[in-house]
Amino acid sequence: MRKSVKRFSARIPLRLFESQPDERRKDPVMTRESDTSPFPYPLRWRIMDGLESALDAVWPRSMSRYSGWALVAPALLLVGILVLGLANIAESSLHTLDRSTFLPSEDYTLANYQTVADSATYWRVMWRSLLGAALTVVFTLLLALPYSYVMVRTPSAAIRKALLVALFLPFFIGQVVRAYGILIVLGTSGAVNDVLGFVGIGPFRLLFNFPAVVFGLVQYMLPFAVLMLAPALTAIPREIETAATSLGANWIRTFWHVVIPMARPGLVGAGLVVGTLSLTDFAMPAMLGGGSQDFIANAIYDQFFRTADQGLGAALALLLVALGSILVGIAIALFGAGTLGMGGKR
């Protein structure tokens, strides 16, 4: 052999020797770790290491088969307590109030359900709750969809932040204070009637009617809906919309044919949350309805705390639970659990 051989180990052809790293490069092992280490071990990893070894101590590896159960145990406990309460309510709904002693009757009876079924007032309350919830869902989604779309798609960080702040501010105020705000703004001598008076019309009675309650509910529900829609819209690649445009769809048709169908899981989820929260709402009908626009929750409250007829209140409460469950059941049957992002078949 004539001379020492430089062996090329790389499969990729090296064009020139000059592109080879030179031998003067420092050996990484030789340099002190503290100052020149190219990869500082992240603090978060250290914390995870600590937590993992702590977990190994309390929950040995051999128990890992039961880890799943251990993780859902707190939730199961919570649901269990709820079921217990429900059973309790169901039990008390089967006793009528004895008006002479003001004690629940001894024997079991369906009389409370009969009372509800026979009462035109309760039918009206139930119908009003359902209609109010449905209208709230429709209006909230109509407002939330463009709002979250702009929030997700705007190129301007300032606009996005402004929209987010406007969304979260009402969250910190709380429902009752917000309802008071609406009372003030929409009152006979409120800001809206002031402006209308300026133009020379009014004053109008804007409060204590059904539209006022729906208005309050929509106002209350909007942030929930926007927060549920935003991730669904973020999941739609911007390029898909560009593609739709290049294929001949203007923005309205892109929205209708592409954005809305692809955001369906978010829309269904937001609709369910808004619907069930509105159906069971208490504060808005109580404050903005002024006693004339009771929802089911208000009727239940009256029975428990005004007339102290626990049995009738419990019967109404169970009916509300049944109504809500049926509606959610229908929605899931129609759209499938998968559309809620729960990985169902479709």
Partner 1 sequence: MNESSSAGATRARVPEPETTAVRVRDVTMDFGSGVPAVDRASFDLEAGKFLTILGPSGSGKTTLLRMIAGFQKPTSGDITINGKPVDADPPHRRSIGMVFQKLALFPHMTAAENVAFPLKMRRFDPRTIPDRVKGFLDLVKLVGYGDRRMHELSGGQQQRVAIARALVFEPELLLLDEPLAALDRKLREEMQLEFRRIQHELGVTTINVTHDQREALVVSDRIIVMDGGRIQQHARPIDLYRQPHNSFVAGFLGVSTFIPGEAAEGGLTVGALQLSGTHSSRIAAGEPARGAIRAEQIRIGPTPDSLARCDTKLAGTILDVIFEGERLLYVVEADALPGIAFHIYHHDPESFDLYQIGAPAAIGWNAQDMKIFNAAV
Return residues touching partner 1 (CB under 8 A): 1-3, 5-8, 11, 13-18, 237, 239-240, 242-250, 253, 257-258, 261-262, 264
The residue (of 161 and 264) whose beta carbon lies closer to partner 1 is 264
The residue (of 8 and 59) whose beta carbon lies closer to partner 1 is 8
HSE, side-chain direction, 13 A CA sphere, residue 304:
14
Give the amino acid at 154: T
Give the amino acid at 37: S
The residue (of 149 and 295) whose beta carbon lies closer to partner 1 is 149
CB of 236 to partner 1, least distance (A): 10
The residue (of 13 and 21) whose beta carbon lies closer to partner 1 is 13
CB of 255 to partner 1, least distance (A): 12
CB of 240 to partner 1, least distance (A): 5
CB of 232 to partner 1, least distance (A): 13
CB of 190 to partner 1, least distance (A): 44
Q: What are phi and psi of 201, to 5 degrees?
A: -120, 165
Cα distance between residue 177 and residue 287, in whole Å = 10
CB of 256 to partner 1, least distance (A): 11
- Of 283, 141, 289, 341, give the one whose Cα is nearest residue 221: 141
Structure-token pair, residue 22: 């030179």
Contact 163, 230 (CB under 8 A): no
Q: Which residues contact 122 (CB under 8 A, 6 or more apart)?
A: 116, 299, 316
The residue (of 156 and 189) whose beta carbon lies closer to partner 1 is 156
CA 54 → CA 43, 157, 260, distances in Å? 17, 42, 47
Contact 193, 206 (CB under 8 A): yes
CA angle 46, 49, 54 (to 5 degrees): 130
The residue (of 7 and 306) whose beta carbon lies closer to partner 1 is 7
